[in-house]
């Protein structure tokens, strides 16, 4: 029986749930999922008890509650150092933290114009100029990491950074964003990870379409 739980919400729509879930999977910490239905008002009261921010993801482990995705990544790196969620070298760790921070606090135009929706596909989607600026910055980050560390993941082996950017990979597919071949190949590697395949399969099983979440989640 796992002594950790991770509270998440919709696997189709919740990009932060996906990031927290991937971080926990990458860490190797056994955990049970607690899935809060996103559209149930009663669930919000319960979520308040589970997560002080009333947001997901929230990790509960050994009597310790950790909410907010960056904090979850740092916590998991401490309790599971062998999983190397952060790179071994200090300079690489700094680089990894910097781009995770950029994802955590930035790219608002991309997040609102191209919300995560794994079941949807919008061929020829017209990307708004400010979202395009975000896309270009993300592509630059990925190019630099892949060139500097040699792939196959952003820092060679899988780290927090791949979990933080995984929902961007799915957005690029959903919204038919045109990309260079090496960026497409990186995205394909992320989508081919067994954890990602499992998450997407679970998302496909989610019955409901939540209209308001098509806007921003």
**Contact between 15 and ligand GSH per CB under 6 A:** yes
Distance (Å, whole) CA 25 – CA 44: 25
**Contact between 69 and ligand GSH per CB under 6 A:** yes
**Contact between 56 and ligand GSH per CB under 6 A:** yes
**Contact between 24 and ligand GSH per CB under 6 A:** no
Q: Which is nearer to ligand GSH, 72 or 83 (CB)?
A: 72
Distance (Å, whole) CA 170 – CA 124: 15
**Contact between 217 and ligand GSH per CB under 6 A:** yes
Distance (Å, whole) CA 146 – CA 140: 10
101 Cβ partners below 8 Å, 6+ apart? 70
Query: How many other β-carbons are positioned within 10 Å of the β-carbon of residue 168?
Result: 24
Binding-site member from 50, 55, 179, 200 for ligand GSH (CB under 6 A):
55
Name the helix (H) or strand (E) containing 67: strand 64-67
Within residues 81-110, the interface with ligand GSH by CB under 6 A covers: 104
Chain residues binding ligand GSH by CB under 6 A are 9, 14-17, 55-57, 68-69, 104, 217
């Amino acid at each position: 029986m796992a002594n950790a739980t991770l509270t998440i919400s919709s696997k189709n729509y919740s990009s932060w749930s996906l990031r927290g879930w991937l971080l926990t999977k990458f860490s190797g910490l056994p955990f049970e999922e607690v899935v809060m239905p996103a559209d149930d008002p009663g669930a919000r009261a319960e979520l308040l008890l589970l997560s002080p921010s009333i947001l997901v993801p929230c990790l509960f482990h050994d009597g310790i509650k950790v909410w907010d995705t960056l904090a979850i990544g740092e916590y998991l790196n401490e309790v599971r150092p062998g999983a190397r969620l952060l790179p071994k070298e200090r300079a690489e760790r700094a680089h990894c933290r910097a781009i995770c921070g950029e994802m955590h606090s930035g790219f608002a135009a991309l997040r609102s114009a191209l919300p995560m929706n794994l079941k949807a596909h919008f061929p020829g989607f017209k990307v708004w100029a400010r979202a395009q600026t975000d896309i270009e910055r993300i592509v630059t980050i990925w190019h630099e990491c892949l060139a500097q560390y040699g792939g196959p993941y952003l820092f060679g082996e899988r780290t927090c950074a791949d979990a933080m950017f995984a929902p961007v990979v799915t957005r690029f597919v959903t919204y038919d964003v045109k990309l260079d071949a090496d960026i497409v190949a990186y995205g394909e590697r992320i989508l081919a990870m067994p954890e990602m395949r499992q998450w997407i399969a679970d998302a496909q099983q989610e019955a409901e379409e939540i209209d308001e979440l098509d806007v921003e989640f």
